[in-house]
Amino acid sequence: MRLPIGCAVRELTTHKDPRGDLTEIFRDEWESGIEPVQWNFVRSQPNVLRGVHVHVVHSDYLVCLDGTLVLGLADVRPESPTHGMSTTVTLKGSKMQAALIPPGVAHGFHFPEPSTLCYSVSHYWNTVDEIGCRWDDPALGFDWQVREPALSPRDTTAGTAAEMTRQYLAVREQLRAGRD
Amino acid sequence: MRLPIGCAVRELTTHKDPRGDLTEIFRDEWESGIEPVQWNFVRSQPNVLRGVHVHVVHSDYLVCLDGTLVLGLADVRPESPTHGMSTTVTLKGSKMQAALIPPGVAHGFHFPEPSTLCYSVSHYWNTVDEIGCRWDDPALGFDWQVREPALSPRDTTAGTAAEMTRQYLAVREQLRAGRD
């Protein structure tokens, strides 16, 4: 599977027995690319689409626990060797995998059926780090195979992918300048 | 709610909207009493009972994501102000709470319906730190209201609560001696 550089999909091992099953979804000692500060649990109705969003600061590490997550990934980092690459990856609760999304990789989550997701972040939520665009902007290059998904008001009124990238770069510059 | 000292139950906040909901299940900055090194996800069939177990080293921090968890807690630490206290706490996916279980508090998990659980541990799994007893030993003082639960082979053949406590104290002594 080809992914934007810095993204990763890890196969998780599910141990089954007559009682049910157990899956280790995260270990500190794994080279997962993230040191989580927070874990969230999200339930989604069928045909919900969350995103598209991109972050300047924080990484996301996510596991679909139940149902199906179609994860769209698009690299908007101008300096990246995989700049412009976009792909979709399907994660399922029936065969668990963990996906890492670094800063600068725009992402959207589509749930074709009722689904649950557990995810961690490397930094606490910050409005400055929440930048988004319309999920169906053709410039993203996603083949969602989705019609009229349920969106949040914010995602419904989001701008273009080009505007998102400009904002991503502007915030990145501000944060870098602030660190100097 | 009275709990063995060091145990805690935290109310979690679920943010609902038409797409579904989101719950922060853990933040590093919370005074949760644990620094997780690992997160696990567990699915259980109805009438499964896991335990009773006690740990010398590691703490558990757990959230019932779906279904119902009846959590039995019994304090076997001789020096504890709540030594001998036992209680059951019901956690539900429909109103999420996080429970912290420190070392020395024996615990069992009963799932009356199909249920899922996410939990973290403060130390990696170690066979030395897995000490258990029969879930229905009257000395535990649990009012499980359960008949013939599904157990693992290990939990089925476990010994008495008195033997578990002796083993807990012996391992604790060994580990303390090893640190001196």
Is B30's Cβ below 8 Å from some Cβ in A? no
Establish if A21 belongs to a structural domain.
Answer: yes
Q: pLDDT per residue over B139-156, tens digit each? A: 999 999 998 999 999 999
Q: Is A22–B42 a contact, with Cβ atoms under 8 angstroms apart?
A: yes
Q: pLDDT per residue over A157-180, tens digit each? A: 999 999 999 999 999 999 988 876
A130: left (phi over 0), alpha (psi -120 to 50) or beta: beta
Is B29's Cβ below 8 Å from some Cβ in A? yes
The shortest CB-CB distance from B44 to any of A19, A25, A43 is to: A19
Total structural domains within chain B: 1
- pLDDT confidence band for B89 (50 / 70 / 90): very high
Assign A25 to helix, strand or coil.
Answer: strand
| Burial of B42 per CB tally in 10 Å (0-12, 13-18, 19+) | buried
CATH of the domain at A130: 2.60.120.10
Q: Is A18–B116 a contact, with Cβ atoms under 8 angstroms apart?
A: no
Is A65's Cβ below 8 Å from some Cβ in B? yes
Q: Is the pLDDT of residue B56 over 80?
A: yes
Q: Which domain holds residue B167?
A: 8-179
Chain B interface test: which of A15, A43, A122, A151 (most B C-beta within 10 Å): A43
Alpha-carbon gap: B81 to the closest alpha carbon of chain A (Å): 32
For the residues of chain B, what is the DSSP string, one character each?
A: ----TT-EEEEPPEEEETTEEEEEEEETTS--S---SEEEEEEE-TTEEEEEEE-SS--EEEEEEESEEEEEEEE--TT-TTTT-EEEEEEETTB-EEEEE-TTEEEEEEESSSEEEEEEESS---GGG-EE--TT-GGG------SS-B--HHHHT---HHHHHHHHHHHHHHHHHHH-
ipTM for this prediction = 0.94
Chain A residues touching B65 at Cβ < 8 A: 41, 65, 116, 118
Is B28's Cβ below 8 Å from some Cβ in A? yes
Establish if B168 belongs to a structural domain.
Answer: yes
> pLDDT at position A180, please?
65
A66: left (phi over 0), alpha (psi -120 to 50) or beta: beta
Establish if B1 belongs to a structural domain.
Answer: no
Is B180's Cβ below 8 Å from some Cβ in A? no
Q: pLDDT per residue over B123-138, tens digit each? A: 998 888 889 999 999 9
Establish if A3 belongs to a structural domain.
Answer: no
Q: Is A41–B152 a contact, with Cβ atoms under 8 angstroms apart?
A: no
Is A116's Cβ below 8 Å from some Cβ in B? yes
Q: pTM score, two decimals?
A: 0.95
Is A178's Cβ below 8 Å from some Cβ in B? no
Establish if B56 belongs to a structural domain.
Answer: yes
Establish if B173 belongs to a structural domain.
Answer: yes
CB atoms within 10 A of CB B104: 24
Establish if B148 belongs to a structural domain.
Answer: yes
- Calculate the average pLDDT of chain B: 96
The shortest CB-CB distance from B40 to any of A18, A25, A37 is to: A25
